[in-house]
Structure 1
């Protein structure tokens, strides 16, 4: 129970900071940091929408394994995508583990009702949080941005949610 309260407190703080960051029009290189399937990702603040606690989606038959179904989030239907599985991971998802995850909706400006399942919210990051960066490989999908390394040696992959929302594989949920 304490974990749920701590998660809700974190989500509230992050939502407040996200709103403040949007109001201050921070630099382009400001991200929401998340963890999914043991990997670390940076999502541009301007692409990220509201953060929701786990809400079990209604399964949709004959869809890709990474498409978990549709969920009613604040009165609107959102397609729920397991980010780790979509990016090629194979995480173990138990009911207990799912209760500690979050759904991150795409910003309404991107005009796609989708939410990403992420394992952990890791706060906000700016360019100053990293010591090195390298461009994505030439054959990487368009939605993969630079790869950043922080002072602890953790590698963070930048994901462009606008590009992801237009990526043909992301849009083709049928199996």
Structure 2
């Protein structure tokens, strides 16, 4: 019986010839599985873009952008812990002094460049890119005067600022005439009195006033962002 001699190499199997133009298995990239969470975000983005492009009403566009911007809004400052004092950010509007409570706004910025939107009220100045977020920008003074019928729009100047707010899934920038900084008041200096110089159109958004050398009227951001007229940005 013949035995194979040791040291003889076993013949290799003939390799398959690769066809030109046809990638080999080694060169075929592996399929990558998209994580479920990423897929959901992608679908949500596509759906949002579709909704925006198919909107027949300008306010639908504003609402969609507002909801999108609210996902990226900055966290508001921490609420004050010393309840014996009330702290607010002071601002001027048509010569009147107002305050908004610290924590109800997230940023104070110079007025950015805005892109006008068709079919909206005059008090909506347009959309602005604020730190990568698209938010609607509103002239607070013009909005408060708009229910008086004919009114003259506020003229912009270098002292104007926007108060960026994020409440109840609404992100919006409010243009005010000037910001006066943070003020602190004792709680017992609060009263329900509203100075006679405050226009009647502002009264629904006031929450009394604090007194320190003069009256500082408390302006309610909560009252503004839940106001039906404010939410209807589209012109009739």
**TM-score w.r.t. length of structure 1:** 0.71
Q: In 2, are the aligned partners of 1:54 and 1:100 still within 8 Å (CA)?
A: no
Larger relative contact order (C-alpha < 8 A, sep ≥ 6)?
Answer: 1
Q: In 2, are the aligned partners of 1:132 and 1:150 still within 8 Å (CA)?
A: no
Give the length in aligned residue pairs: 148
1:166 corresponds in structure 2 to 226
Q: Partners of 2:134 and 2:89 in 1: how far apart?
A: 23
Q: In 2, are the aligned partners of 1:59 and 1:70 still within 8 Å (CA)?
A: yes
CA distance 1:132–1:50, change in 2 (3 Å): closer
The answer to whether 1:127 aligns with 2:185 is yes
Q: In 2, are the aligned partners of 1:37 and 1:91 still within 8 Å (CA)?
A: no
CA distance 1:145–1:132, change in 2 (3 Å): closer
- Deviations along 1:84-137, one digit per CA (max 9) or x if unpaired, are 11122745414xx1x33111100x454211011012111112223995632569
1:105 corresponds in structure 2 to 164
Offset at residue 148 of structure 1 (A): 3.3
CA distance 1:90–1:51, change in 2 (3 Å): same
Cα RMSD of the aligned pairs, angstroms, is: 2.9
Larger-Rg structure: 2
**TM-score w.r.t. length of structure 2:** 0.54
The answer to whether 1:156 aligns with 2:216 is yes
SS in 2 for 1:55: coil
Instruction: Note the residue ranges of structure 1 that are not aligned, 5 or more in a row.
Output: 1-17
Greater fraction strand: 1
SS in 1 for 2:174: strand
